[in-house]
Amino acid sequence: MLAFEQQVLADLVEDPNGGLVVLSSGLPLASLAATLLLHLHQTPGNAAGGGCLLVLSATDTLKARIRRRLQDKLQVHDVPPDLAAQQRATLYASGAALFLSPRALAADLLTSRLLPSRVQALLLLSAHRSTDTSSDAFICRLLRQRNLLPVYAFSDCPHAMVAGFSKAERTMKSLYVRRLHLWPRFHVLAAADLERAPPDVVDVRVPMTPPMRGIQAAVLATMDACLKELRRTNKVDVEDLTVDKGLFKSFDEIVRRQLDPIWHTLGKKTKQLVADLRTLRKLLDYLVRYDAVTYLKYLDTLRVSEGVRSVWILADSSHRIFELAKRRVYQAVRTDGVNVSIDNKGTPTKKRKVAHNSTKKGKVTENEDSTVGPNTQKANTDVGIVLEEVLEEAPKWKVLWELLQEIAEQRMKSSAGNVHDEDKNDESGIVLVSCKDERTCLQLQECILKGPCQVMREEWEKYLIGKAELHGLNKDKRKSEQPKGVGVLDGEVQMGSSESVCPVSISKLETNALLAAASELRNISNEADVKSSSNSSCSKAGGAKGKPKKTTSKRQGSNRKNKSKEGNDNSQGTGLDSEGQSGKADVQAEIVASKMSAYDASMSASTSNVKFNHSSAFGNLANAKPLPPVQFHALDSDHQVLDVWKPSVIIVYHPDITFVREIEVYKAENSSRKLKVYFLFYEDSTEVQKYESSIRRENEAFESLIRQKSLMMIPVDQDGRCIGPTVANEPEPPLCQNSITRKAGGKKAPEKEMQVIVDMREFMSSLPNVLHQKGIRIVPVTLEVGDYVLSPLICVERKSIADLFQSFASGRLYNQVETMARYYKIPVLLIEFSQDKSFSFQSANEIGDDVSPTNIISKLSLLVLHFPRLRIIWSRSLHATAEIFMSLKTNQDEPDEKKATRVGVPSEDGIVEDDVRSENYNTSAIEFLRRLPGVTDSNYRAIMDGCNSLAELALLPVERLAELMGGQKAARTLKEFLDAKCPTML
């Protein structure tokens, strides 16, 4: 451990009450938690009698890091929420360290399955998510109600601790801790440890291409225009509406938090502006992350999906975004059949000539010498299109290749000079390249394997095939639905007779050129398949030549890859982050295939270990020097790779502040090992601006926390003894001296403790926590009917707004209300709104006069008409719901836990107790009917009305069943089930 980490733990353990530690992002949170667990486990005398150690809010990655730090010193068990109660009780009694979910732990504490006296300490690893109504605060209150155990809370998101009014103080109050420990990167002790032996850092600024600069300027201009439009609403804080803050994901949360209370009153344009800002931020991010073809594919998807309703596409600068993105991939120029020379800023590889005829689709010819072929002479009077493939490569690709070659040269020189020193300081010799996502890692692997030109060529071929498939789908739809219509995917726009037809024809010709290129690509692939089969037969006879066979196999490999990915082209256009997974198998297969040819050359240049051979094969292309062993790391995977791979050189391809801090900590912990770090930045780009803004935002957050700490007021009862107006904690009032003797000396009868029976699934919400705050006893059980039982007569079904809409759509709410009405005298539907949002479904002017099947108000009205005894309660917040529950329980008996759990559950004889419908309905037959395949909550009532018995149902034809069940598929499913033969033992 470093010196500042030891100081953090010393300050934290000093207070027996615990504390809250706020770290800079990237500092060793897992190391601190593991060391604290080990310290508490080895010194059980710090708590009363020792006990188990509970760890909450730990992600899977953080759990793996903590286990790796502890290794054989201490075993930490993972307790999933679906583990059996008896097994959980056994783990509690063992006194071990446990990773727990808050939902299961709260239920175990309420049912006394885990006694607070058997807990030694509680660790919270995401304290920035704790509020007064969160599950973490609920567990802290349950544990510290009668036992003052320490609570150790950690957070590595300082900007989240300053979101809202006095967030840090409210978090400490909800967790019952009194001390706040701040450890920013600029802390004196932390800076001294991290800067004692810093790594050798090289900052490489890569210039962007002119189209990339143009796209970035256009996106920023469009974002600024959207922000100006949003400022005109006068409903958002103007200080937060800056382009600098718009580069982060938290910007969406800032704007939505301000607009949520009035969201229902906003117009469609304002709501769309909020969504457009998110889209523009993605465009800036994807510009520096993905290649030119993928970026164009994403823009084509946006043009189709958002072109109708989006506001940013209508801005003046948005047209430039699409044009420059297209220019990075190809250029389409009008020509009348003569030679055309185009001045390209990129590197054109081929020219494709398309002749457009009124009776025949344009034909593509490859003309590398820019001469007019015989096929293009037919278009003397018509217009043609020349497609020149630019296929601009990412500037960072070339820089990465040069850096790897430079590293290899330096290692060869150093190995020739002093072998022993290199073996001592450069143990693994691995070059680690860190990228943002898995897709970029796989693409960089392909670039090193095949070269950037081949990678761009494959992306271009996939783009053409995807265009052809989309055009084919659109063509089929036009034939079936609108034979004479036009479509956006064809590049056509329906225009009047008075308008010019020239723009439409140019777009049509360009689309035809792309489709013709795709068809030519498929023809070449088919020819390659034929040639490969003939070559294989000739090679068996010994008559094949070497060079044609090599090109054919190369084309065959790319063709096979295209065929395997044809089904994924559409998904690549819509979700860029998931594209890497689809090509992973193909890339790994190519890596294995290229091992044998490149293994000797790469091993001669480096002394890599055997287990890194799959990475050391990325080298020795044609006319290239051998490369060192390379490992790629995706930052989105959030895995700890530095201690595993122990790299000697790190290339930060996509800068990230968290990973930079991890590199600093790794070098400080291994001060004797040499480490060189290369940072790749696009010069004058939003990538640099975003990285610098993240550092500045973190420093401002810590400065705000330091000011809050100096002015913070900690209550005296912050140790957790007084936690709300519960009967057990309130002191007894002194007796009045002038008491009336007729009232037994004025002595007040002890108030009976209120209790509410809560379904176990409801512990995922915060309402049980708030009810416990009000002094109500919570009884967690598994209920078949309802969510909350307030009394023997009152049962409550709680619905949030999103759950209400979903329950109406599926028909589940009708069934739930019907079941409550069968077993309880007063069924209640609780509709609970969020405290930060508007207390209405829609604005008053949107409510119509007629009943509409899609309107939520109409659905609620129909529900009340069907169930006259149903009571609907509207609550604007959790605390208002608790007050409503307390008022409903006035003058009511307390519910019985055993009776509540038996409601709706049939006994061994199949009889359901207290079923008010059993006298009038055959409930057993209804339950049997609802379990048949094809029968749902929305159609079983129609089946009951259409036939009198199950025997009659089995004799109905499929056509009649389709009428009753609302579809042929459900009817056939039920009929096949009823007519199926039973298997026999013979």
596-633 pLDDT, tens digit each: 333 333 333 332 332 333 333 344 444 456 778 888 99
- Residue spans of beta strands (DSSP E) within 381-461: 384-389, 431-435
> Strand 630-634 vs strand 151-155: parallel, antiparallel, or unpaired?
unpaired
Distance CA 574, CA 121 (A): 47
| Cβ contact 90:96 at 8 Å | no
Residue range of the domain that includes 645? 393-411+427-473+627-683
pLDDT at 211 over 50: yes
At residue 349, the pLDDT reads 41
13 found inside a domain: yes
656-680 pLDDT, tens digit each: 999 999 999 999 988 888 889 999 9
pLDDT at 550 over 60: no
pLDDT at 153 over 90: yes
pLDDT at 706 over 90: yes
Q: Is 408 helix (H, G, I), strand (E, B) or coil?
A: helix
pLDDT at 830 over 90: yes
Task: Tell me which residue has tokens 């056939």.
Answer: 972
At residue 701, the pLDDT reads 92
CATH code where residue 455 lies: 3.40.50.300
Distance CA 75, CA 331 (A): 62
CATH code where residue 935 lies: 1.10.150.20
| Cβ contact 709:180 at 8 Å | yes
| Cβ contact 762:768 at 8 Å | yes
At residue 892, the pLDDT reads 87
At residue 491, the pLDDT reads 38
Handedness of CA 574, 576, 580, 586 (dihedral sign): positive
Degrees, nearest 5: CA angle 586-588-593: 95
Query: Which of the residue ranges 268-272, 598-602, 683-687, 810-814 would you say has the lowest mean pLDDT?
Result: 598-602
Burial, 34: exposed, middle or buried (Cβ in 10 Å; 0-12, 13-18, 19+)?
buried
Highest averaged pLDDT of the listed ranges 158-172, 498-512, 921-935: 158-172
Distance CA 633, CA 647 (A): 12
Distance CA 528, CA 534 (A): 10
What is the DSSP track for 691-708?
HHHHHHHHHHHHHHHHHH
439-490 pLDDT, tens digit each: 889 989 888 888 889 888 888 888 888 777 776 665 555 555 544 433 333 3
Task: Return the higher-pLDDT residue of 982 and 794.
Answer: 794
Handedness of CA 303, 304, 307, 310 (dihedral sign): negative
Identity of the residue numbered 629? P
The closest alpha carbon to 151, from 173, 116, 168, 175, belongs to: 175
Identity of the residue numbered 348? P
138 found inside a domain: yes
pLDDT at 594 over 70: no
Mean pLDDT across 550-578: 38
Which pLDDT band, with edges at 50, 70 and 90, does 982 fall under? Answer: confident
At residue 829, the pLDDT reads 94
Distance CA 74, CA 60 (A): 18
Query: Which of the residue ranges 129-138, 329-338, 365-374 would you say has the lowest mean pLDDT?
Result: 365-374
Q: Does residue 946 sit in the same domain as residue 822?
A: no
| Cβ contact 655:691 at 8 Å | yes
Q: Does residue 55 sit in the same domain as residue 116?
A: yes
Distance CA 575, CA 347 (A): 28
pLDDT at 522 over 80: no
Q: Does residue 930 sit in the same domain as residue 864?
A: no
Distance CA 632, CA 628 (A): 13
Q: Does residue 310 sit in the same domain as residue 452?
A: no
Task: Return the higher-pLDDT residue of 847 and 429.
Answer: 429
At residue 495, the pLDDT reads 38
At residue 167, the pLDDT reads 86
Identity of the residue numbered 669? E
At residue 369, the pLDDT reads 36
Query: Which of the residue ranges 696-700, 749-753, 804-808, 902-906 would you say has the lowest mean pLDDT?
Result: 749-753
Task: Return the higher-pLDDT residue of 428 and 543.
Answer: 428
Handedness of CA 926, 927, 929, 935 (dihedral sign): positive
Mean pLDDT across 285-296: 90
Which pLDDT band, with edges at 50, 70 and 90, does 500 fall under? Answer: very low
Q: Does residue 152 sit in the same domain as residue 273?
A: no
| Cβ contact 22:161 at 8 Å | yes
674 found inside a domain: yes
The closest alpha carbon to 152, from 177, 135, 130, 115, belongs to: 177
Token code pair at residue 886: 């307390």
Which pLDDT band, with edges at 50, 70 and 90, does 351 fall under? Answer: very low
Q: Does residue 52 sit in the same domain as residue 124?
A: yes
Span between the terminal Cα atoms of the chain, in Å: 72
Q: Does residue 45 sit in the same domain as residue 158?
A: yes
Q: Does residue 244 sit in the same domain as residue 324?
A: yes
pLDDT at 882 over 50: yes
Task: Return the higher-pLDDT residue of 166 and 772.
Answer: 772
pLDDT at 523 over 90: no
| Cβ contact 543:417 at 8 Å | no
Q: Does residue 192 sit in the same domain as residue 214?
A: no
Q: Which helix (H) or strand (E) holds 153?
A: strand 151-155
Distance CA 430, CA 410 (A): 14
Number of domains in the chain: 5
DSSP state of 734: P
pLDDT at 591 over 50: no
Q: Does residue 818 sit in the same domain as residue 945?
A: no
Q: Within 111-202, where are the H helices?
A: 135-143, 167-175, 188-194
At residue 827, the pLDDT reads 93
Distance CA 902, CA 914 (A): 10
Q: How many CB atoms lie within 10 A of CB 764?
A: 12
Which pLDDT band, with edges at 50, 70 and 90, does 152 fall under? Answer: very high
Task: Tell me which residue has tokens 């309107």.
Answer: 855
57 found inside a domain: yes
Q: Is 952 helix (H, G, I), strand (E, B) or coil?
A: helix
Q: Does residue 885 sit in the same domain as residue 968?
A: no
| Cβ contact 820:785 at 8 Å | yes
Highest averaged pLDDT of the listed ranges 38-52, 417-431, 745-759, 880-894: 880-894
Which pLDDT band, with edges at 50, 70 and 90, does 504 fall under? Answer: very low
Q: How many CB atoms lie within 10 A of CB 3?
A: 13
Distance CA 886, CA 373 (A): 88
363 found inside a domain: no
Q: Does residue 257 sit in the same domain as residue 164?
A: no
At residue 565, the pLDDT reads 39
pLDDT at 150 over 80: yes
Token code pair at residue 761: 């699934």
CATH code where residue 882 lies: 3.40.50.10130
pLDDT at 911 over 80: no
Neighbouring C-alpha atoms within 13 Å toward the C-beta of 772: 26
Distance CA 394, CA 915 (A): 71
**SS3 readout for 537-588:** HHHHHCCCCHHHHHHHHHHHHHHHHHHHHHHHHHHHHHCHHHHHHHCHHHHH
Mean pLDDT across 262-288: 82
Q: How many CB atoms lie within 10 A of CB 672?
A: 7
109 found inside a domain: yes
Distance CA 495, CA 490 (A): 14
Radius of gyration of the chain (CA): 35
The closest alpha carbon to 117, from 90, 93, 88, 147, belongs to: 147
What is the DSSP track for 284-322?
HHHHHHS-HHHHHHHHHHHHHHSTTT-SGGGSTTHHHHH
> Strand 351-355 vs strand 363-366: parallel, antiparallel, or unpaired?
antiparallel
Neighbouring C-alpha atoms within 13 Å toward the C-beta of 555: 19
Task: Return the higher-pLDDT residue of 835 and 282.
Answer: 282
State the chain's mean pLDDT as an integer. 74
At residue 539, the pLDDT reads 44
Distance CA 117, CA 120 (A): 8
pLDDT at 423 over 60: no
At residue 693, the pLDDT reads 86
Task: Tell me which residue has tokens 């709501």.
Answer: 271
> Strand 351-355 vs strand 384-389: parallel, antiparallel, or unpaired?
antiparallel
140 found inside a domain: yes
487 found inside a domain: no
Mean pLDDT across 38-60: 75
At residue 257, the pLDDT reads 72
Mean pLDDT across 945-964: 89
| Cβ contact 233:265 at 8 Å | no
